[in-house]
Amino acid sequence: MEIAVIHFILLGVISGLTKGAGVLPDGPLNAAVGATVMFTTTLTPSDKPFLSVVWTFGTKNIITSSIVNKTGPEYEGRITLFMSTGSLELRNLALNDSGEYSVSIVPDGEPVKGGSTTLKVLEPVSNVTATASSTDLVEFNSSVRLSCSSSGSSLSFLWLNSSSEVTASDRVQLTDGGSILTIVKVTRYDQGPFRCRVSNPVSNGTSDPITLSISYGPEDINLTISPSQEYHVEGSDITLSCSAVSRPAALFHWFLNGDLLSDTGPELRMMNIQMSQSGNHSCQAFNSKTLRSETSQPSAVSVLERISGAFVTPTTNLMIEGISVNLTCDAAGSVFTRKWMKDGSDLTLAGNMNLYDKNKVLSFNSLKSTDSGEYSCKISNPLSNDEAKYTMVVIYGPEHVKITGPSEIHLGASFTLTCSADSTPSATYTWILNGTEIHNSAEFTKDNAELSDSGSYTCQAMNSITERTSTAVHGLSVTDRSGGLSAGAIAGIVISCLVIASAGGAVGGYYIHKKKINNKAPPHSDNKEKEENVYENTSEVYENL
């Protein structure tokens, strides 16, 4: 009787079961093969036991718990029923456990409660493997295909580049559900490492990394010179270094003025550099994988020889006033500039001077005595300099001849006449009195003057090199104590005045012919008149002078 009542109740419950009536969570529930799943109801544990709990899988009975518990044979040992809530634990899942599960619960004194949900039993992810069509690639030329495989069910595929997710773009293609990654015309940033991550609702796995070797470059080539300076002195050491962005490392070749050198490698060391190595240096980087090359901009290497042995040479060693002469300034080495100085100051070109051939030649078209002095020439380049000096002595004269001394002395007194002239070398002097040569020296001295010493004194200055002469005339009168003059003195003065008058003040070389005055003639009135006329003429001459 009791069993019949229970069956009747169960039939009523099942027939009135409302699917998804909140007793079980919305599905599906996911679980892995061999795992355990808990079907947990939403009911709160009650002090009153349920009259019955029935779990079914499709049309199969899993367990019926009422007055008599009944478990389906394939679930023996695999299930646990929690009577306080009606929840069910199912263990050691198999793929055929996938499907719809339902529960019907009859509380004591309450309406029947029930519901259903879906279970998906999945094979876990395993053996995730990624492969590449090639790992040795050339930037912009090569394409690559990455494939991912895995065991498991309901698989999803995700590619990672390092830690970033790979997404499709114009160069990146994802096919076959994402398991195939194709990159067209790879760049250096596509080297990876790439990993494939496979997942399903119950597990996931990641492949070992794949790193692509992508050759690129050369590019961004750079040439440096050490020490870095505009000019290098001959005999010094310099190093040229070349670098470029390249994978694999670039091979380097060197060029001088466009000609290939035998040197290779990223450094070109030039020891004891010579003038012949001056020019435009460049380097070329070559990538043996990409078969590309790039050449640097040329860098100038300027090698200078030190300035040494500066000298100044004249076109003649006999510098005579009025001639033309050149001073040439030169030196061994790389000459950049020449600077002339005179007597320690910058040279100011006079009207008779010119500079030629980049200041190499200082030319005098007509030497002057004022051109004498010390000339120096400083030759330089940016790394060194040297200086040469030359002392120029201009031979000239004589000129500006003059006589100093008394014009009148008393009989018996001493006197000195001094002759001077501007001349290089110093002039030699000859004294002539009233046309007769009397002395050879710059000074003429007489200790005891006689009346016969009166007259016209001529000083003739001569330069032995220029062979020029120049003269000056000086009148001297010797008087007795009474102040009278002898006839000879008068005659000398007259002759002197006549010479001065005829010369007109000129200083050219000339000779005075001596005249004798007969002082022994007896006194005569005619002679006395002539003597008075001489005095008068002499006075007039002096006044005119």
Cβ-contact 215, 290 below 8 angstroms: yes
Q: Report yes or no on 294 lying in a domain.
A: yes
Q: Edge-to-edge, what's the strand order for the sheet holding 164-165?
A: 164-165, 156-161, 194-200, 203-206
User: Do 196 and 107 share a structural domain?
Assistant: no
Q: Report yes or no on 56 lying in a domain.
A: yes
Residues in contact with 532: Cβ distance below 8 Å, sequence separation at least 6, in sequence order: none
User: Do 132 and 118 share a structural domain?
Assistant: no
Q: Report yes or no on 381 lying in a domain.
A: yes
Residue finishing a domain among 94, 122, 150: 122
| pLDDT above 60 (res 254) | yes
Q: What does pLDDT average to over the chain?
A: 86
User: Do 77 and 110 share a structural domain?
Assistant: yes
Cβ-contact 50, 88 below 8 angstroms: no
User: Do 347 and 484 share a structural domain?
Assistant: no
Q: Label residue 14 by pLDDT band (50, 70, 90).
A: very low
Tens-place pLDDT, residues 388-430 = 999 999 999 999 999 999 999 999 999 999 999 999 999 999 9
User: Do 403 and 538 share a structural domain?
Assistant: yes
**What is the C-alpha to C-alpha distance for residues 326 and 356, in angstroms, rounded to an integer?**
10
Q: Is 75 left (phi over 0), alpha (psi -120 to 50) or beta?
A: alpha
Cβ-contact 151, 179 below 8 angstroms: no
Q: Report yes or no on 340 lying in a domain.
A: yes
Q: Report yes or no on 462 lying in a domain.
A: yes
Q: Label residue 16 by pLDDT band (50, 70, 90).
A: very low
Q: Quick one: pLDDT at residue 328?
A: 98
Q: Quick one: pLDDT at residue 205?
A: 97
Q: Report yes or no on 87 lying in a domain.
A: yes
User: Do 8 and 103 share a structural domain?
Assistant: yes
Residue in 302, 235, 239 with CA at minimum distance from that of residue 274: 235
User: Do 444 and 484 share a structural domain?
Assistant: yes
Residue finishing a domain among 343, 370, 392: 392
User: Do 274 and 152 share a structural domain?
Assistant: no
Domain count, the chain: 5
Q: Quick one: pLDDT at residue 120?
A: 96
| pLDDT above 50 (res 21) | no
For the residues 236-251, what does the mean pLDDT come to? Answer: 97
Q: Report yes or no on 216 lying in a domain.
A: no
Tens-place pLDDT, residues 33-86 = 999 999 999 998 877 888 999 999 999 999 999 877 899 999 999 999 999 899
User: Do 184 and 58 share a structural domain?
Assistant: no
Residue finishing a domain among 89, 122, 155: 122
Q: Give the torsion through C-alpha atoms of 238, 239, 240, 241, to 10 deg.
A: -160
Tens-place pLDDT, residues 473-491 = 999 999 987 544 444 445 4
Tens-place pLDDT, residues 294-324 = 999 999 999 999 999 999 999 999 999 999 9
Tens-place pLDDT, residues 497-521 = 343 333 333 333 322 222 232 333 3
Pairing mode, strands 408-410 and 384-392: unpaired
User: Do 151 and 290 share a structural domain?
Assistant: no
> What Cα–Cα distance (Å) separates residue 265 from each residue in 194, 226, 237, 258, 285?
35, 16, 18, 17, 9
The parent domain of residue 44 ranges over 2-122
| pLDDT above 90 (res 11) | no
The CATH number of residue 354's host domain is 2.60.40.10
Residue in 410, 425, 430, 424 with CA at minimum distance from that of residue 471: 430
| pLDDT above 70 (res 220) | yes
Pairing mode, strands 238-247 and 213-226: antiparallel
Q: Quick one: pLDDT at residue 10?
A: 42
- pTM above the 0.75 mark? no
Residue in the structure block whose two tokens are 């760049």: 187
Bigger pLDDT: 524 or 128? 128
For the residues 439-461, what does the mean pLDDT come to? Answer: 95
Q: Report yes or no on 250 lying in a domain.
A: yes
Residues in contact with 418: Cβ distance below 8 Å, sequence separation at least 6, in sequence order: 403, 404, 405, 442, 443
Q: Quick one: pLDDT at residue 200?
A: 96
User: Do 283 and 228 share a structural domain?
Assistant: yes
What percent of the chain has pLDDT above 90?
80
**What is the C-alpha to C-alpha distance for residues 442 and 398, in angstroms, rounded to an integer?**
13
User: Do 403 and 384 share a structural domain?
Assistant: no
Pairing mode, strands 373-381 and 384-392: antiparallel
